[in-house]
Copies of this chain bind each other. A is one copy, B any other.
Amino acid sequence: MGQVKEKRCFICFEPSGLKVEVPSGTTLLDAAHKIGIYLSSICGGDGYCGKCKLIVNKGQFQSRPTTLLTPEEVRENIVLACQSEVVSDITVTVPKSHSLAAGKILTDSDAKRFRNIKGDGEDVDFDLDPLVQKLYLEMTLPSLEDHTADHERLYMTIREKIDAPIIQTGFRVLQKLTPLLNRSDYKVTVTAGSRGGTMEVVELQPGDKSKRNFAVAVDLGTTTVVAHLVNLNNGDTLDSEAIYNSQISFGEDYIRRIIYGEENNAFDELQNRIVHDVNDLIITLAVRQKIDLQDITACVCAGNTAMVHFLLNLDPTGIRREPYIASAGFVPAIRAAEAGIQINKRGLLYCLPSVAAYVGSDMVAGVLATQIYAKDGISLFIDIGTNGEIVLGNKDWLICASSSAGPAFEGSGVKHGMRARNGAIEKFSILANGEIELGVIGGGYPLGICGSGLLDVLAELYVNKIIDRTGRFSSTDDKRLTQSDEGLEYQLAPAQDGAQGITITQADIDNLIRSKAGVFAAIKVLLESTQTKPEDLDAVYLAGGFGNYLNTRQAVIIGMLPDVPLEKIHFVGNTAIAGTKMVLLSRKSLEIAERIAQSMTYFDLMSHPAYMEEFIRAKFLPHTDLSLFPTAGSVN
């Protein structure tokens, strides 16, 4: 019998019209990935999250049975992309709910709020002293009286400008030094980059090229990647941009991505994805600001430990297995091109140091940005991302932990959850007359709810007794409550003009309560372990990609934050990017970040017996122990 020729199928994805040819038997999810179409997927293709729904318009396919589709969905030819293999040419429609990539994600670009957060400890004002500097040098010409060699003459002149006890020069740069000095009459621009305790002569150019020197600060989020373009000569942020992390198709949390990488030997692919995302951001910013990529001399990244490992293709497998060991917490500065980052071909890539497998450099950046490491009083810092991470301490001690909060406040695991971008409900309130008021980012019809909106919804439903202290819908007679296949749903906006209605389901509320409970339990265990009372707290900083706005009072009402006077609670937005920019602009900040990472004590909540108990107690609104929440208790 002759060999059967592999059958090829064309798949057309509507409404974009993008087409791809694949062997028959390929899943629709794999095919979508292949041409970069984003489909929501939490399980990474294992078939149990039910997120990757597609509508098949025409063509043949084979699907494995699933309980995650309703009979109506099956009748409407809705399939799970990961469980459906193509058999013939096929046309599918990608529902609007997947199109997360549309609209601009808020990037927290001004970060002006940090100007108001000052330490009361040591002086934390930094002089502008960027990691990579362009120095224009007019060197003294050699003479019979001064026969210093060109190489040493260069170093002497650099040291007149900046503090650089150890200077290093790459061999190729050294080789071109003398011809360049002769050509330029000893007037040159040196690009000098800080590299692990030394200063490297990264590049040499004739004449004065010091005017244009830029860098990019990147927050490598599990879900969202944010980049800010910074002018290194004055510290100004010129522009910012954010995109979804395109690794999402391999799993919405990084543990799934590590598993995917291990099982498919796909760490190269994971690296390519995130590098591609970062390059996308850099190129977008550079084109928009008319900046030559060669004038971008540094890229500084912060992120959770796994994301940094993905970016650099360091082995991340120890992160998910006991005893939970990273390959590197401290990462040396490398040539950005070595990792595929498209800036100046000899430009440097820095990653901020992380503390442990589950406490990444984004937390170090947060501690740096809020300056709690420099304060006499005790601060509590909470960063709600895909996990909830917490730091407690002051200038003498810092303790940190990672809670299993889950990504509900990032909109994951919430039916109509979305990131803070145009179309997201960021504010929600129930008026005295029973009507509801929505604040939608960018105005217009809502497409979903972002973190700050979800916080409002949970608080308002509770305060208005639509849900009880366990989060159950307590009355079924509210006009906005409807019964669906998934149980009761509270309608925030009706379906309209073909757009879906926006609702909150019982499952959504349960997820949000689990999330806030995870955060509060972590706070409580950390406070008790350090014998810190809530009244000892001088400040509570809440960070995360919630959006521009956050009603901190609601965070207390639902019992996510301890019930301290509201003026002590500060919503600080994206501290990962803020701290990263501080490092970019000041070598001293990098040193401080390294000291923070080194000195922070990691507290392992998962193996702490009290954590699960506290979690269970916190799974009520606001808590089983109302005495902890005098403010919240009094509202209901």
Chain A contacts to B: CB under 8 angstroms? 142-144, 146-152, 165-166, 168-169, 171, 174-175, 177-179, 182, 195-198, 312-315, 317-318, 322-332, 334-335, 338-339, 354, 356-357, 602, 604, 607
Contact A312 B171 (CB under 8 A): yes
Contact A152 B198 (CB under 8 A): no
Closest to A309 in B: B178
Contact A329 B144 (CB under 8 A): no
Task: Give the CA-CA distance A490 to B313 in the complex, in Å.
Answer: 75
Contact A328 B602 (CB under 8 A): no
User: Known contacts being A198-B196, A314-B178, is A325 close to B150, with CB within 8 Å?
Assistant: yes
A313 CB contacts on chain B under 8 angstroms:
175
A178 CB contacts on chain B under 8 angstroms:
314-315, 317-318, 327
User: Known contacts being A322-B144, A338-B171, is A330 close to B152, with CB within 8 Å?
Assistant: yes
> Which 8 A-B residue pairs are closest in the complex by CB-CB distance?
A151-B328, A178-B315, A178-B327, A149-B326, A149-B329, A166-B197, A142-B325, A171-B334
Contact B150 A318 (CB under 8 A): yes
Task: Give the CA-CA distance A151 to B197 in the complex, in Å.
Answer: 17
A-B contacts, 16 of them at CB < 8 A, read A143-B323, A144-B323, A144-B604, A144-B607, A148-B329, A149-B328, A149-B330, A150-B328, A151-B326, A152-B329, A168-B332, A171-B332, A175-B313, A177-B327, A178-B327, A182-B318
Highest count of chain B CB atoms <10 Å: which of A168, A197, A328? A328
Task: Give the CA-CA distance A195 to B195 in the complex, in Å.
Answer: 13
| Copies of this protein in the complex | 2
Contact of A328 among B166, B174, B325 (CB under 8 A): B174
Highest count of chain B CB atoms <10 Å: which of A149, A182, A339? A149
Task: Give the CA-CA distance A604 to B178 in the complex, in Å.
Answer: 22
- Known contacts A151-B327, A177-B315; 10 additional CB pairs below 8 A are A142-B318, A143-B323, A149-B327, A149-B354, A150-B328, A152-B328, A166-B196, A166-B197, A174-B328, A197-B198
Closest to A153 in B: B325
Closest to A314 in B: B175
User: Known contacts being A313-B175, A314-B178, A334-B171, is A329 close to B151, with CB within 8 Å?
Assistant: yes
A301 to chain B minimum Cβ distance, whole angstroms, is 14
Task: Give the CA-CA distance A48 to B146 in the complex, in Å.
Answer: 35
Task: Give the CA-CA distance A318 to B149 in the complex, in Å.
Answer: 9
Task: Give the CA-CA distance A607 to B143 in the complex, in Å.
Answer: 13
Contact of A177 among B197, B198, B328 (CB under 8 A): B328
User: Known contacts being A196-B198, A198-B198, is A312 close to B147, with CB within 8 Å?
Assistant: no
Task: Give the CA-CA distance A175 to B195 in the complex, in Å.
Answer: 18
A318 CB contacts on chain B under 8 angstroms:
142, 150, 178, 182
Task: Give the CA-CA distance A162 to B623 in the complex, in Å.
Answer: 54
Task: Give the CA-CA distance A236 to B170 in the complex, in Å.
Answer: 32
A359 to chain B minimum Cβ distance, whole angstroms, is 10
Contact B330 A147 (CB under 8 A): no
A576 to chain B minimum Cβ distance, whole angstroms, is 19
A149 CB contacts on chain B under 8 angstroms:
325-330, 354, 356-357
Task: Give the CA-CA distance A169 to B313 in the complex, in Å.
Answer: 15
User: Known contacts being A152-B329, A332-B169, is A323 close to B174, with CB within 8 Å?
Assistant: no
A168 CB contacts on chain B under 8 angstroms:
195-196, 332
A607 to chain B minimum Cβ distance, whole angstroms, is 7
Contact of A174 among B174, B197, B314, B604 (CB under 8 A): B314
A69 to chain B minimum Cβ distance, whole angstroms, is 41
